[in-house]
Amino acid sequence: MGLIGSVRRAAFTRPHLLLLTAPGAAEVRIAVERFARRRGWPLADSPADADALVEAGVLHGEMAEVAETVWRQLPAPSIRMPLAVPAEVEPGLADLPARLASWRPETGEEPEAAPELSMADRAEDRDGLKLDVLHVPLGPLLPHWPEGLRLVTRLQGDVIQHAEAEVLGLGPDTRSFWAVEDRRAARRLDAIARLLGVAGWTAMQWRCQALRDRALADEPRDRLVGDLKAAAARIRRSRLLRSELTGLGAVAGTGDAADRLHQWLTEVVHDLRAPGGELAGSHPSAAEWLDMLPDTVVGAELTAARLIVASVDLDTAEAEQRSTTGVHHG
């Protein structure tokens, strides 16, 4: 027992966390991300790799159903950990390794049979050939994905033929964490980190997350601005990143994904120097983005669609409950 016990303790010193965040619960998510980054706990990409399902914020309605479904997909041993407020993050997560090491299966609980999957349909693709069609919901559980957003897509190969956007889990008490004006720089840094995460530039993603956390912690601005400028310059210098983003999700007024990233970088530096003030350029609201998103991602390959969604800085907590549709024409 002693040997098995110590093996299990060693195995779970750094559990993998699967984050499911309610709209408006960005503060809890950020606290979990900071904890994980500092301790070297990986954030899992999918339920199969997760030791714990971390529910950030209070999950309402369909988000609670999603959490229930996801929870059943975690391999044993696993812990379900609701964290409603930021203060619960440190103590809750710190207990996790010990709880996993001493985990015992609950008796008497039969695993439910998974629902039967539907077979793929067939339809004509872009070139008029018959090709399988899959109905794939993107989100709300995906890495680097806006909280509570679900994009119900029809995929042929990995090209999106049809999309509907909706925001799940909006409750009567849902408030945007970002509505406060002096958090604007941190919000942009959060969006930049998310976009870099989707683009696969992990090192720079973490660097921007650390800058975001410092901006939220009200650290003296002088040093922060210096570090930020260095990071912004490095991001701007990456020709590969620029070419990956150019031409994606072009929307009148904001340009394409590359333009939006550069706009954010300019705004962050500006905001930290002189907080507040009017923003230059056009900044569509959450409702407007939800309207535009389906049409923007239709016809895009899955990778491109993910980059487009990450490039719009959609604050789902500001959305009203409804869904929007986009269809591929031609």
DSSP E strand boundaries for the chain: 17-21, 52-56, 79-83, 121-124, 130-138, 149-156, 159-167, 323-327
Q: What is the total count of residues that contact other proteins (CB under 8 A)?
A: 54
DSSP designation for 156: E
**Shortest distance, position 230 Cβ to other proteins, whole Å:** 14
77 is an interface residue for other proteins by CB under 8 A: yes
Cα–Cα distances in angstroms (integers) from residue 218 to residues 210, 213, 319, in the given order? 13, 9, 28
**Shortest distance, position 162 Cβ to other proteins, whole Å:** 15
* Crossing angle of helices 221-237 and 257-273, rounded to 10°: 160
52 is an interface residue for other proteins by CB under 8 A: no
What letter represents residue 314's amino acid? L
Stretch in the footprint of other proteins (CB under 8 A) among 79-87, 173-181, 205-213, 264-272 = 205-213
Q: Considering all CA atoms of the chain, what is the largest pairwise distance in Å, rounded to the nearest integer?
A: 66
**Shortest distance, position 273 Cβ to other proteins, whole Å:** 24
198 is an interface residue for other proteins by CB under 8 A: yes
For other proteins, which is the closer residue by CB, 38 or 322? 38
For other proteins, which is the closer residue by CB, 49 or 181? 49
- Beta strands at 121-124 and 79-83: parallel, antiparallel or unpaired: unpaired
Determine which residue in the list 53, 67, 133, 304 makes contact with other proteins, applying CB under 8 A: 304
Distance of CA 323 to the CA centre of its chain: 19
32 is an interface residue for other proteins by CB under 8 A: no
Determine which residue in the list 201, 255, 267, 326 makes contact with other proteins, applying CB under 8 A: 201
Contacts of other proteins in 155-194 (CB under 8 A): 155, 157-158
Helices (H), 20-95: 26-39, 61-73, 89-94
**Shortest distance, position 201 Cβ to other proteins, whole Å:** 4
306 is an interface residue for other proteins by CB under 8 A: yes
For other proteins, which is the closer residue by CB, 112 or 222? 112
**Shortest distance, position 28 Cβ to other proteins, whole Å:** 20
How many CB atoms neighbour CB 43 within 10 A? 18
Quick check: bond before 97 cis, omega within 30? no
Distance of CA 257 to the CA centre of its chain: 17
- Residue 307 and residue 195 in contact, taking contact as beta carbons nearer than 8 Å: yes
- Residue 17 and residue 50 in contact, taking contact as beta carbons nearer than 8 Å: yes
Binding mask 212-241 for other proteins (x = CB under 8 A): --------------------------x-xx
3 is an interface residue for other proteins by CB under 8 A: no
Contacts of other proteins in 90-109 (CB under 8 A): none
Cα–Cα distances in angstroms (integers) from residue 294 to residues 15, 34, 163, 176, in the given order? 36, 32, 5, 23
Distance CA 220, CA 297 (A): 40
**Shortest distance, position 174 Cβ to other proteins, whole Å:** 25
**Shortest distance, position 20 Cβ to other proteins, whole Å:** 13
Contacts of other proteins in 250-269 (CB under 8 A): none
Q: Tell me which residues touch other proteins (CB under 8 A).
A: 7-8, 10-14, 37-38, 40, 45-46, 48-49, 51, 73, 75-77, 114-117, 134, 136, 142-144, 155, 157-158, 196-204, 206-207, 210, 238, 240-241, 243-244, 301-304, 306-307
